[in-house]
Structure 1
Amino acid sequence: MNGAPQHGHNLLFLWSPPRSLSTAFLRMMIQRGDHLVVHEPFSSLVVQGYAVVEGEKISDQRELLDTLQDIATRRRVFVKETTEYRYEIVDAPEFPDIGCHTFLIRDPEAVIPSHYAMKPDITCAEIGFEHQFEIFRTVHEGIGACPAVFAAEQLATESEVVVRAYCERVGIDFMESALSWEPENRDEWSRTREWHADAARSKGFDYVPRVYQDRVENNAKLASYYDYQFPFYERMRSFLPG
């Protein structure tokens, strides 16, 4: 296994580019029932100017991080966040030590067409791998150890293996019962509901790949995004377990 266990944190972060099965992972964490699950609070701040955590409206990244830390003194917290934006809080010297940071990656050749189909005016930066790698590098250097990195492709095909490994890395019990659930829309992702139709229909991590009309191989703009973002994905991939 790549990296040492990161036990002792009540605050877990999962950082992932959009369209990387991170909402399915969040759905699994909801099914566990032993964490407060917070869906994309930092991107909510960017998009709508505020995030809501346990009924509290928060309009500042520092305040948000302080709130999450405070809640984590009383109960376990899992935060799923996407990396289409660069978050200023990453520059805070204490950021690497706040909670346990984990990372989910997916081949950008699959990510980019899926993201473009949802948002045709997407910019290259919003693909998210560069931002994700910056967070990974900041945490890696800050804690002096490799944070946990997992692949969405393996999560889809070997969900029990990946989830077991994740639980071991972050120091929580593996719950086989959380690998499946009833299809439903969730209040947790109400702001971005249209992005999570597959997650709402899902019963587990099974994923059926789609073929999109615009792809990296037939769209010059998407190809340029791929060429820019792939090196960051490749660096992250080198830290996968095994």
Structure 2
Amino acid sequence: MWSGPRNISTAMMRAFENRADTTVVDEPLYGHYLAATGIEHPGRDAIVAAMNCDWRAVVRDLTEAPIARGTVHYQKHMTHHLLPVIDRGWLDRVVNCFLIRDPAEVVASYLEKRDSVSLADIGIREQAEIFERAADRLGQAPPVIEGRDIQADPRALLTALCAAIGIAFDPAMLSWPAGRRATDGVWAPHWYAAVEASTGFAPPSPAKPPPPGHEALIDEARPYYERLRAHRLTGAA
């Protein structure tokens, strides 16, 4: 599942982890991303120390290693973690799905946590690149879901997503126990307070406008978003 930041990506991970047949992994390329770029993120040193920062080893685990339980391996990825140095051939060995959010909402939410934001921070360009690669290989658009759509009707959208990736919908995906998980990344204390308190998907909140001065960034991001949004699942019968 390829998402940018400030979406419902961790809630989606919760939903899949609540299935008895699924193993989840939380942003496995984050350590490599931080080590390779030197970017300062909350908890950076702890993340780099805790994770395997060799992207080749991480990819081997993602595509070859046995999973802890079940038959489904749900991989929560941030699109901007897939740096250009990483060979993307392994993407042809997994089912690529895309979780999107309006870039104006992403920017507004991001700036609630950080002092500044750039196109590279939100990963929308990389998300479009990964989408195009998957679409070219498949000869059709891979599954795309919008966070707001899932929040508005979780059962319908998760049913549509499961059908698109060839697994049965499980009602257990609709709710989960509150709290932290052993599978959560070590960055959870900085980012996961809301999802730790949750027991299911919250209804969509009214969109907050980003602070003035970010119009050019949003305009730059929007065509990438609209390209994917044109193919989003609707949950309609």
Q: Which amino acid aligns with 2:63?
A: Q
Question: Offset of 1:196 from its aligned partner?
Answer: 1.6
Task: Choose the corresponding residue for 1:39, options 26, 31, 35.
Answer: 26
1:112 aligns with 2:99: no
1:20 maps to: 7
Deviation string for 1:99-147 (max 9, x for gaps)? Answer: 1000011111211111111111332211221111111111111232321
Is the CA contact (8 Å cut-off) linking 2:25 and 2:74 kept in structure 1?
Answer: yes
Matched residue SS, 2:184:
helix
2:196 maps to: 200
Is the CA contact (8 Å cut-off) linking 1:85 and 1:131 kept in structure 2?
Answer: no
Is the CA contact (8 Å cut-off) linking 2:11 and 2:201 kept in structure 1?
Answer: yes
TM-score, normalised on structure 1?
Answer: 0.81
Question: Offset of 1:91 from its aligned partner?
Answer: 4.3
Is the CA contact (8 Å cut-off) linking 1:104 and 1:149 kept in structure 2?
Answer: yes
Please give the alpha-carbon distance, in whole angstroms, between the structure 1 residues aligned to 2:86 and 2:96: 12
Matching of residues 75-86 of structure 1 within 5 Å? 75-86=71-82
TM-score, normalised on structure 2?
Answer: 0.83
Is the CA contact (8 Å cut-off) linking 1:42 and 1:81 kept in structure 2?
Answer: yes
Going from structure 1 to structure 2, the CA distance change for 1:192 and 1:85 (only over 3 Å counts) comes to same
Mean Cα displacement is larger for which, 183-192 or 144-153? 183-192
1:231 maps to: 223
1:189 maps to: 184
Matching of residues 157-196 of structure 1 within 5 Å? 157-193=152-188, 194-196=190-192
Structure 1 residue runs without a partner (length 5+): 1-13, 51-55
Please give the alpha-carbon distance, in whole angstroms, between the structure 2 residues aligned to 1:116 and 1:241: 28
Matched residue SS, 2:140:
coil
Is the CA contact (8 Å cut-off) linking 2:6 and 2:110 kept in structure 1?
Answer: yes
Is the CA contact (8 Å cut-off) linking 2:31 and 2:53 kept in structure 1?
Answer: no
CA-based RMSD: 2.4
Question: Offset of 1:39 from its aligned partner?
Answer: 0.3
Please give the alpha-carbon distance, in whole angstroms, between the structure 2 residues aligned to 1:114 and 1:91: 31
Going from structure 1 to structure 2, the CA distance change for 1:88 and 1:98 (only over 3 Å counts) comes to farther
Structure 2 residue runs without a partner (length 5+): 37-43, 45-49
Going from structure 1 to structure 2, the CA distance change for 1:154 and 1:90 (only over 3 Å counts) comes to farther
Question: Offset of 1:73 from its aligned partner?
Answer: 7.8
